[in-house]
Structure 1
Amino acid sequence: MNQLIHGKRLTEWLRMYPLLEKMISTEEVFWLNPNYTKFTNMVEKLPFDEGDMLEAEQRLKRFAPFIATVFPETKNLKGIIESPLIGIENMQEELAAMFKQSIQGKLLLKCDSHLPIAGSIKARGGIYEVLKHAEELALEHGLVSIEDDYSVFASDKFRTFFSQYSITVGSTGNLGLSIGIISAKLGFRVNVHMSADARQWKKELLRSNGVNVIEHNSDYSYAVEMGRKEAEKDPNNYFIDDENSPHLFMGYAVAAFRLKKQLEEKKIVVDKDHPLFVYLPCGVGGAPGGIAFGLKLLFQDDVHCFFAEPTHSPCMLLGMMTRLHDRVSVQDFGIDNKTEADGLAVGRPSKFVGKTMEKLVSGIYTINDHYLFILLKRMKDVEGISLEPSALAGVYGPAQLVAEGKPYMERHGLTMKNATHICWATGGSLVPKEEMEAYYQKAVNF
């Protein structure tokens, strides 16, 4: 590779960022963020505050009667879309045995893999942004006031009104599912541009919900760009921008309020002596970025967030490490962006998320597909929980932190003894049984 990459030869890049050599060879790496900053030194410069999160939470509460009406599976939670937080002691023992190291503290799984409606973490941001847009249209046209019972959004009158409008998004799969399902339920015309790595069952599920699926023989960034271009042609076509949307981001951030309550219910303390470590699978960055941002607002320096990426798609790591953000892609360095973790198969990171989180995220590690499948099988065997490959990236985190994170622990005076580790499971419950069985069988052969 003798050509210039962003004005520099490869040898110069490798001299500046030695970790790049392993990344280019698609070997696993563990990166500690040198720009990580104490929260009190950052808070004045942040683009959102707790009030913004609260506003998003209140909007979701207003829509709860509508959600409960049109999605019966949410009735027991009164229309609040939330996932369980569960202990996975057996998996903790498995990780310790697999990697021959003690993992101290409490290991929990945040089961966004089983979120109602969309069966993935994308149910948070995707559904929130669609509801925000629907509310704005309804308020603008005098169809509703914020004091009303929002179950009226389930009426034919509202469906007819929203049928004049379109919603468009580009996706590797899960975001498209969440946006397609909720938009169609409201009555919007929906267009989902899918990248080549999107699973066939996700396309079929969308079509069965009346969504227009446009397939592209290219990657995620191309699908997003095509969606953006299509939406620009029609003033009534609203584009949901997975790469740059503050509304998606705030929808994800609401998870922090919900998690804080769940931790309190479990009597789990989070403070300097009881640190919270959170491991978040990362594609373009919106979901992990929003959740980590919300957690930092609530827990400040007592929470430590790590992003997890496939070895073949380390786009957020590349963008943050070089501080080029969306100006650099993994393909610029000859990394192929091909991974079984379809939700994480992103070559170029979000500039918005990268810049917002560049001093808040503790670090980023990569995982090869081989371990994704092994962990998928172990999780099913010892906990009885089925997850899609992308969702296992977070489960690798505690083992990686123990193996590679000693400098971080020492620098911040942390101990694992009283720690809580949360692995964020991002998708799985909507995966067809035969697909999940195929994942499992693939792992058997490793």
Structure 2
Amino acid sequence: MDIKNIIANNPLIRDMVDKKEVVWINPKEVNYSEYEKKLPINDEELKEAEERLKRFAPFIKKVFPETEETNGIIESPLEEISNMQKELEKKYNTEIPGKLYLKMDSHLPVAGSIKARGGVYEVLKHAEELAIEAGLLKLEDDYSILADKKFKDFFSKYKIQVGSTGNLGLSIGITSAALGFQVIVHMSADAKKWKKDMLRSKGVQVVEYESDYGKAVEEGRKNSDADPMSYFVDDEKSMNLFLGYTVAASRIKKQFDERGIVIDKEHPLIVYIPCGVGGAPGGVAYGLKRIFKENIYIFFVEPVLAPCMLLGMETGLHEEISVYDVGINGITHADGLAVARPSGLVGRLMDPILSGIFTVDDYKLYDYLRILNETENKRIEPSSCAAFEGVTSLLKYDESKKYIENKIGKNINNAYHVCWATGGRMVPKEDMERFLNTYLK
């Protein structure tokens, strides 16, 4: 791989290396009608994921009382944030035509982050397969029996392991421990202390690394592979995680329906999702595209200090290139997005459907958090606030403005913008106060 050549011949990558905020418009995006002819994941698989979560709802309701209101369905609110919209326009001298919403996966039950979708789903699927294979469970059973002691005793013979920067570890750890599994979470240096403390309080073994996310995953995978009773949840390569995230799409469609909101050509949907390794945003994006088809436009947002998905997709090298290769250190305040090498599985799945990627300076994450708190009285993790960079910059960059003019035209005035908040509910009060008082510039 001739890195010098890659940098020398690519002005966008030169800007990234210089730690400048950039926008990238995906040249491989295709018309949905073309994409639909060769879908990589069929509708049956998506439906199966949704059905499995319904089967587990009685268990979830029993073990996680916060899901009682929703009958064991793990879902988050969708809120219009018009006060923030006005403030963003004023403060950043930008235009946000249409309406702005916040999809609050930051407040998902069980794990308080978007990882409560994929992480919980993969653990439940693994538990179901083990219990059925052992003759302890049938598909038609009331799954609340999984909370019984005999199941906990059964699962306690098995181990689940995962490598994480924090939130995936929380979702895997909390769910696995509730079922009775032995759990080991391999945490990178970026992981926050409170996340490690919370996991340990649930009886989860936390292994800490002084290096990055990639090392935590590598060691976790190696450790798990050496133990026949261990199952590894692979954030970089797992199709089960990916399928768990896709279910978000049918859920948000229902929320739109309940509000009488119709997404069509005249009323397009534009979604902005913070991105680390890519699993959660990729799964959500895939599900959304299957439901809203040619009427949705999806952008990822990454920190300028760890733009791994952008680098992988722009070069076409995907997981074969790391931000370290081009001289970016990957150390960012957006701890959940502190990933040096993207998921190749997700990057390739996103090639035909992603609209583009924005990058954001760390200092803005705290600025956006303060604006959200002051205008809407809502608090999310700083890394979640990356989503606001997309909607704020959409019509500021020439490239994205031209993209919108070509694809949407005047219908941008009727657009629904959704910023996907990926984490925050479980942040301890003192940490959140510190975030609100952090100024990097």
1:241 aligned partner: 234
1:424 aligns with 2:420: yes
- Cα distance in 2 for residues equivalent to 1:9 and 1:124: 37
Is the CA contact (8 Å cut-off) linking 2:94 and 2:393 kept in structure 1?
A: no
SS of the aligned residue for 1:170 comes to strand
Equivalences for 1:4-15 in 2 at 5 Å? 6=1, 8=2, 10=4, 12-15=5-8
Equivalences for 1:277-426 in 2 at 5 Å? 277-404=270-397, 405-414=400-409, 415-426=411-422
1:160 aligns with 2:153: yes
TM-score calculated relative to the size of structure 2: 0.98
- Cα distance in 2 for residues equivalent to 1:106 and 1:410: 18
- Cα distance in 1 for residues equivalent to 2:42 and 2:428: 39
- The residue type equivalent to 1:411 in the other structure is N
1:47 aligns with 2:40: yes
1:178 aligned partner: 171
Deviations along 1:386-407, whole A, 9 cap, x unmatched? 1111100112211111112221
**Offset of residue 334 of structure 1:** 0.5
Is the CA contact (8 Å cut-off) linking 1:108 and 1:422 kept in structure 2?
A: yes
1:434 aligns with 2:427: no
Deviates more, 1:14-23 or 1:249-258: 14-23
- Cα distance in 1 for residues equivalent to 2:44 and 2:292: 15
Is the CA contact (8 Å cut-off) linking 1:49 and 1:297 kept in structure 2?
A: no
- Cα distance in 1 for residues equivalent to 2:392 and 2:210: 36
SS of the aligned residue for 2:122 comes to helix
Unaligned runs of 5+ in 1: 1-5
2:192 aligned partner: 199
- Cα distance in 1 for residues equivalent to 2:207 and 2:408: 51
**Offset of residue 252 of structure 1:** 0.2
- Cα distance in 2 for residues equivalent to 1:119 and 1:410: 37
1:89 aligns with 2:82: yes
Is the CA contact (8 Å cut-off) linking 1:46 and 1:356 kept in structure 2?
A: no
**Offset of residue 413 of structure 1:** 3.8
**Offset of residue 40 of structure 1:** 1.4
Equivalences for 1:251-266 in 2 at 5 Å? 251-266=244-259
Equivalences for 1:61-100 in 2 at 5 Å? 61-100=54-93
SS of the aligned residue for 1:139 comes to helix
- The residue type equivalent to 2:406 in the other structure is R
Deviations along 1:192-215, whole A, 9 cap, x unmatched? 000001000000000000000000
- Cα distance in 1 for residues equivalent to 2:389 and 2:350: 21
- Cα distance in 1 for residues equivalent to 2:421 and 2:50: 21
- The residue type equivalent to 1:298 in the other structure is I
SS of the aligned residue for 1:57 comes to helix
- The residue type equivalent to 2:418 in the other structure is I
**Offset of residue 39 of structure 1:** 1.3
Deviations along 1:75-122, whole A, 9 cap, x unmatched? 010000000000000100011011112211010000000000100000
1:3 aligned partner: none
SS of the aligned residue for 1:430 comes to coil
- The residue type equivalent to 2:256 in the other structure is L
- Cα distance in 2 for residues equivalent to 1:303 and 1:247: 24
Deviations along 1:364-411, whole A, 9 cap, x unmatched? 000010111100111111111111111001122111111122211122
Is the CA contact (8 Å cut-off) linking 1:307 and 1:363 kept in structure 2?
A: yes
- The residue type equivalent to 2:171 in the other structure is S
SS of the aligned residue for 1:364 comes to strand
SS of the aligned residue for 1:267 comes to coil
- Cα distance in 1 for residues equivalent to 2:263 and 2:433: 38
**Offset of residue 9 of structure 1:** 5.2
1:121 aligned partner: 114
TM-score calculated relative to the size of structure 1: 0.97
- Cα distance in 2 for residues equivalent to 1:327 and 1:121: 26
Is the CA contact (8 Å cut-off) linking 2:3 and 2:326 kept in structure 1?
A: no
- The residue type equivalent to 1:409 in the other structure is I
Aligned partner of 2:30 among 37, 48, 52: 37
**Offset of residue 281 of structure 1:** 0.3
SS of the aligned residue for 2:264 comes to coil
- Cα distance in 1 for residues equivalent to 2:394 and 2:42: 29
SS of the aligned residue for 1:76 comes to coil
SS of the aligned residue for 2:395 comes to helix
SS of the aligned residue for 1:442 comes to coil
- The residue type equivalent to 2:430 in the other structure is E
Is the CA contact (8 Å cut-off) linking 2:7 and 2:326 kept in structure 1?
A: no
SS of the aligned residue for 1:403 comes to coil
Is the CA contact (8 Å cut-off) linking 1:283 and 1:349 kept in structure 2?
A: yes
SS of the aligned residue for 2:59 comes to helix
SS of the aligned residue for 1:356 comes to helix
> Considering only aligned residues, what root-mean-square deviation do their CA atoms show, in Å?
1.0
Judging changes above 3 Å, is the alpha-carbon distance between structure 1 residues 270 and 156 closer, same or farther for their aligned structure 2 residues? same
SS of the aligned residue for 2:276 comes to coil
2:215 aligned partner: 222
SS of the aligned residue for 1:279 comes to strand
Judging changes above 3 Å, is the alpha-carbon distance between structure 1 residues 188 and 9 closer, same or farther for their aligned structure 2 residues? closer
- Cα distance in 2 for residues equivalent to 1:422 and 1:57: 22
SS of the aligned residue for 2:52 comes to helix
